[in-house]
Structures are given as structure tokens and as C-alpha cells.
Amino acid sequence: MKDPKVKAWLSLVISFALITLALLLSAGTVLYWQAWVYLGVGVVSSIPLTLYIVSDPILLENRTKAGPGAEQRLTQKIIVFVAAIPGIATFVVPGLDHRFGWSSVPPWLSIAGNLLILLSMWMVYRVFKENSFGSATVEIGKDQKVISTGPYAIVRNPMYSSAAAYFIGMSLALGSYWALIPAIFTILGLVWRLFDEEKFLAENLSGYSEYCAKVRWHLIPGVF
């Protein structure tokens, strides 16, 4: 598909269609209120974010290339492929949990999970606003510079911080403690990815090593 704007919107529609199928088929019922609330929150927060992406040509180009096939380095191809396995499970385990009653998450905690999702999406917006080179692949774009302002002044990988918050929030929003297991493995995949990415940027992006010396935390301020 040549038009990146159309590709961005089509990707959004297809993603939510597949997520809906994964949740409802694994749950074996449409009577899964946590799934519908989660989907509503996801759509409401994703539309303005996509509008922002398509308004920034550089960001749009960088965000419409994703997946193992889009990665230029073998290490990242492997990381993305391996991390995708627990990533997919995060959308299947909650439905199975709902079907078989493995865990019981109180409604207030599911609501808190949705609020965490909204927070994570706002964090993503702040990352995109600060850095048009926030690529979905590990690469260095033309005229790319080190960003050290906004969320990048707090952690080196704020996009991954947002993703980690999203997966934790999603598990709770969908009413499943068991879904936290694949969520944690997905986050560990992000950690694996960020270590390799930081090494790559330190070797190939001017000023990145100096930036790392100033910003200590990789993912969670004060922790890691």
C-alpha cells in the first residue's frame, strides 16, 4: 500500500478487529463487559493518536514500518518475533480466564486498568510530540538527532515505558490476573529489545552515549 495515511488507518481498524476476535473467541461469549469497555477505551484513545501520527510526515513514515520483516538487523528480527508470542497471549489468556473463571478481578480494579491504559496512551502522545523519529523499528533516520527533552529527560525509552504500563493496565482492564504472566514476559521482551537498541544507538547515533551518561534510567525512573 503506497499511501501511508491509509495504511495507518487500515492498520488501526484491522488491529482492533483482530483483538476483538481474539478476546471474544477465547472467551466463548460476547457477554464479556470488561472486553467491551477495554475496546471502547482503546478506540477512543487510539483515534486522536492516529490523527496526530498522520499529521506528522516523518512520524507517519517511521510508524508505518513494523514487525520482524521491517527490522534491518537479525538480532532485532529475532527479538520482535520472540516477543510477539507472549504479546499475542495477552489478548487470548484474558478471554480464557473469563471463560473458565480462573481469577476474579473486582470491577474497580478493571476500571483502574482502563485508566492506566489512558495514561499510557497519553504517554505515547508525549513521546510522539517530542520525537518524530520514534520509529517502530530500530534504525537511524536521516537527520535524526538525540532527543533529551520531555519524557526523554526522565527515561531513555519512554515509548517502552508506555507499552509496559499498557500491558499491565490491559490485563487488569480485562479482568484477568493470569494475563499478567504473558504481560510480564512481553515487558521482558521490551527490556531485551531496549538493551540491544541502546547499544546500537550508542555506536551509530552521535551524542547518544553522552545522553545515556546524563539519563540513568532505562524504563522506570528510580527503579530501572
**Tens of pLDDT along 27-64?**
999 999 999 999 999 999 999 999 999 998 888 887 87
| Mean pLDDT, all residues of the chain | 92
Q: How far is CA 191 from CA 26, 70, 149, in A?
A: 28, 20, 22
pLDDT tens-digit series, residues 144-172: 889 899 999 999 999 999 999 999 999 99
Give the CATH number for residue 200. 1.20.120.1630
Domain membership flag for residue 57:
yes
pLDDT of residue 1: 56
Question: Does residue 112 or residue 81 have the better pLDDT?
Answer: 112
Domain membership flag for residue 219:
no
Record the pTM: 0.92
Domain membership flag for residue 222:
no
Q: 106 is written with which cell numbers?
A: 473486582
- Quickly list DSSP for 177-214: STTHHHHHHHHHHHHHHHHHHHHHHHHHSTTHHHHHHH
Domain membership flag for residue 91:
yes
C-alpha–C-alpha distance, residues 66 and 56, integer Å? 17
Domain membership flag for residue 224:
no
Domain membership flag for residue 169:
yes
CB 8 within 8 A of CB 80: no
Domain count, the chain: 1
Whether pLDDT at 215 is above 90 = yes
pLDDT of residue 77: 87
Domain membership flag for residue 221:
no
Domain membership flag for residue 75:
yes
